Amino acid sequence: MCYHHSMPQFDCPGAEELSGDLAWWRIYQESFPVSEREPPEVIQDSLRSGVGLAFRARFETGTVGLATTHLLLKPSAVFLVYLAIDRTHRDRGLGGALLDYTWRTSAGRLRGRGFEPLGMVWEVDPPSDPRAGDPDARARRVAFFERCGASLLPQPYLQPPVDGVAPVPMQLMYRLAEGRELPSPETIDALIRAIYFEKYAAVNRIPVEILNHLLRPMQTGGVAT
């Protein structure tokens, strides 16, 4: 498929505009399994409160890509929650361009509030976990992010139960902000706590006792399911 010689447009819609973008929500539904999808109202509430941002890649025909982020403060970093491109528009560089726009805009928002972000962090299906679906798709996803300058973090990680059912074994990827050094294990632990309590407790309303239960085995090097 060609783009009719047009360039994609990227923007950062508010909650009300996003709610009416049916293509955005279709891509969201098609791109992520139920166990990893948070309710639409969680995304919209994060936009209204200013802790989260949503992004679109668009052509004249409509939205063809999406992303969302949460702005972490302690430590300051951009948590990339979702990134997806419509199936008919993949493998043309659009995902990398949207990722860069998402980072620049989110980091700029943090800087505007007086914070200097360490980098961007996000969850991926573990490449070596046989329970995590198509291994080729997982490998391609990780390879895409590595081409975008990210690295897998070695620490064990569980995505809290955003569907209200069960946590999901995941792995974190991290991309440094320009001029920053690789994060120490202590910084990574702090990032995980920020993801858990600034995002999943404060926005998704996952009980703190559940998050503390999930953190304990990660802090000792294991993963509980």
Give domain status of residue 224, yes or no: no
Q: In the structure, what pLDDT confidence band is assigned to residue 24 with cuts at 50, 70 and 90?
A: very high
Query: Domain tally for the chain?
Result: 1
Give domain status of residue 225, yes or no: no
List CB contacts of 96: < 8 A, sequence separation 6 or more.
144, 147, 148
Q: Give the SS3 label for residue 168.
A: strand
Span 168-210, pLDDT tens digits: 999 999 999 998 988 899 999 999 999 999 999 999 999 999 9
- Structure confidence at residue 52 (pLDDT): 98
Q: Report the CATH number at residue 101.
A: 3.40.630.30
Higher pLDDT, 150 or 221: 150
Give domain status of residue 99, yes or no: yes
Alpha-carbon gap, residue 13 to 48, rounded angstroms: 11
Span 37-82, pLDDT tens digits: 999 999 999 999 999 999 999 998 899 999 999 999 999 999 999 9
- Structure confidence at residue 58 (pLDDT): 95
Give domain status of residue 2, yes or no: no
* Residue 107 near residue 177, CB atoms below 8 Å: yes
Give domain status of residue 200, yes or no: yes
Residue 202 token pair: 């404060």
Residue 141 token pair: 């996803």
Give domain status of residue 3, yes or no: no
**Residue 182 sits in which domain range?**
9-219
Comparing CA positions, the residue from 160, 146, 170, 169 lying closest to residue 206 is 160
Tell me the pTM: 0.91
Alpha-carbon gap, residue 57 to 79, rounded angstroms: 19
Alpha-carbon gap, residue 86 to 65, rounded angstroms: 6
Give domain status of residue 1, yes or no: no
Span 72-127, pLDDT tens digits: 999 999 999 999 999 988 888 899 999 999 999 999 999 999 999 999 999 998 87
Give domain status of residue 4, yes or no: no
